[in-house]
Homo-oligomer: A and B are copies of this chain.
Amino acid sequence: MAYRQTPERLARDQAQRLHILQLAHAQVVEGGFAQLTMQRLAKAADIATGTLYRHFSGKGELAAEVFCMASQREVDALKEVFAAQGSAVQRLRQGVERFAARAWDSRQLAWALIAEPVDPQVEEQRLRYREAYAELFAQVLREGCAAGEFSVQYPHLVAACFVGAISEVLVGPLSPQARAQRSEHEVDDDLKRVRATLVELFLGALGAREHA
């Protein structure tokens, strides 16, 4: 007999799995998904490549999980903002600002989540999460409609537009190439303008410019 499923063992397993995920996450934060290879990860975790496969069926699963962890954090942050007190318009504005600020804070990660070319299993999660962001926005839009703050015919589509607009306007400046060219200072200015533009655009679109 050997190695039974004692709670401690299970816990240790979980812990190692988590540790691997954290290291993988760190790789992505540092250099995007391109940086995430099984050998490198194994080395970072100080285990053999084969051991990775005791925790994950393959690279796709692992990468997808890393993606989900990171994205879920963003979704939760946004959810929190949207759950706060205040009019839909106010919350929308704060949501956008928070989103942009977070992306700016960890550009490489934001870029990896939003725009880096990734393999299909990860891309699938990306679609899911974009959907999730959109759903959050859509919910606030519906609340705003219900409260008579503004009127939107297809909240879900408008929400998708918002998500797209945010992504696009961030991706340019976030992309590794762009970052290589601009100074920190310029980049901060960019953030301010981007936030202002997004807020103005969204509230304007809702015919709620003045509430802001």
Binding site for B on A (CB under 8 A): 117-120, 123-124, 127, 130-131, 153-154, 157-158, 160-169, 171-172, 175, 177, 193-194, 196-198, 200-202, 204-207, 209
Contact = CB atoms under 8 A, between A and B. Distances in A.
A84 to B, nearest CB: 24
| Residue among A168, A193, A206 with most chain B CB within 10 A | A168
A182 to B, nearest CB: 15
Contact of A158 (B158, B161, B201): B201
Contacts of A168: 130, 160-161, 163-165, 167-168
21 contacts: A124-B177, A127-B177, A153-B197, A153-B200, A157-B193, A157-B194, A157-B197, A160-B168, A161-B166, A161-B169, A161-B198, A162-B165, A164-B167, A164-B171, A165-B165, A165-B168, A168-B168, A204-B204, A204-B205, A204-B206, A207-B209
Pick the 3 closest A-B CB pairs, nearest first: A164-B168, A161-B165, A164-B164
